[in-house]
Amino acid sequence: MAMDADKRNVERGQIITYEGFLYGDEPIESEIVSITIFEKETKKIILKLETLQERASIEYFENTAWPFTFQVGTSYKEFTEGMTYVVEAKYDNKSTKLDFFIQPKPEPTCLEILKENPILVLTDKEKYDQGDIIRISGCLSEEAFNRAKESNTLKVVVYDPVGNNIGASTFVPNPDRTFSEDFIIDEKFGLNGTYTVEVDAGGIYSSTKSFEVPEFGTIAMIILGISLSGLLIKTRFLKPFGNF
């Protein structure tokens, strides 16, 4: 028994066509091939179906093949993106298996998420510890990008939990209207609570993003000192946040 498919990697909703053959030296007594589809990891059965073939009018002998075909539609609600499934075909005591993988949807780009907003600001995490590196990134609408080009800079300002400006920096956006900048969570982030980063383009367009930093204790000071020493030795692109 053998089976093949027209595709093995699919997007959810696509149809997979399977073609198979039964080989043997005995007459075909049944016209049913049983199909089972299950999750590869958990073995959970998703679908069961049967293919009904035309009744054989001749006897089949050695090296003679009896063909069967069927289709699997991956729009069924039990199918999940990013998972591998097994299709098993059975006839009497014969069986064959094939895997297929449902590709996950690609992550939306920053510009797709931006929609009608002038600026989208992102951080790589929601919470940071002392000594961590924070990546501030995002993208600009065409209007905000043009405004940033006129002034040749974007301005980023960070405010502590009580609203104090603890640092500011400027950088140039990329030609594709995106931006990113890395900074160290250092002693200026000494209050426990929610910090806010604001990105401004030419004083007209701006947007904010919040993140959490815990209280800066004595132990954290020691750890930070060790971390900063290592960073100064190993990296050149990182810099202390802000111009004071």
What is the mean pLDDT of the segment spanning 68-93?
A: 91
CA of 87: how far to CAs of 70, 194, 226, in Å?
A: 11, 50, 55
Last residue of a domain, one of 53, 82, 103: 103
- pLDDT score for 242: 47
Statement to judge: residues 229 and 129 lie in one domain: yes
The answer to whether residue 178 is domain-embedded is: yes
The answer to whether residue 240 is domain-embedded is: no
The answer to whether residue 14 is domain-embedded is: yes
Statement to judge: residues 119 and 22 lie in one domain: no
Statement to judge: residues 82 and 144 lie in one domain: no
> Phi-psi region for residue 74, left (φ > 0), alpha (ψ -120 to 50) or beta?
alpha
Statement to judge: residues 140 and 87 lie in one domain: no
Contacts of 122 (CB under 8 A, 6+ apart): 110, 136, 137, 138, 209
Statement to judge: residues 134 and 97 lie in one domain: no
The answer to whether residue 239 is domain-embedded is: no
What is the percent of the chain where pLDDT is above 90?
57
Last residue of a domain, one of 85, 103, 121: 103
Of 242, 157, 160, 165, residue with least CA distance to 207: 157
Range of the domain at 65: 2-103
- pLDDT score for 87: 96
The secondary structure of the chain in percent helix, strand, coil, rounded to multiples of 5, reads 15, 45, 40
197-210 confidence digits (pLDDT tens)? 999 998 899 999 99
- pLDDT score for 29: 62
Statement to judge: residues 99 and 212 lie in one domain: no
Give the total number of structural domains in the chain.
2
What is the mean pLDDT of the segment spanning 205-234?
A: 64
1-36 confidence digits (pLDDT tens)? 899 999 999 999 999 999 988 876 665 666 688 999
Last residue of a domain, one of 51, 70, 103: 103
What is the percent of the chain where pLDDT is above 70?
80
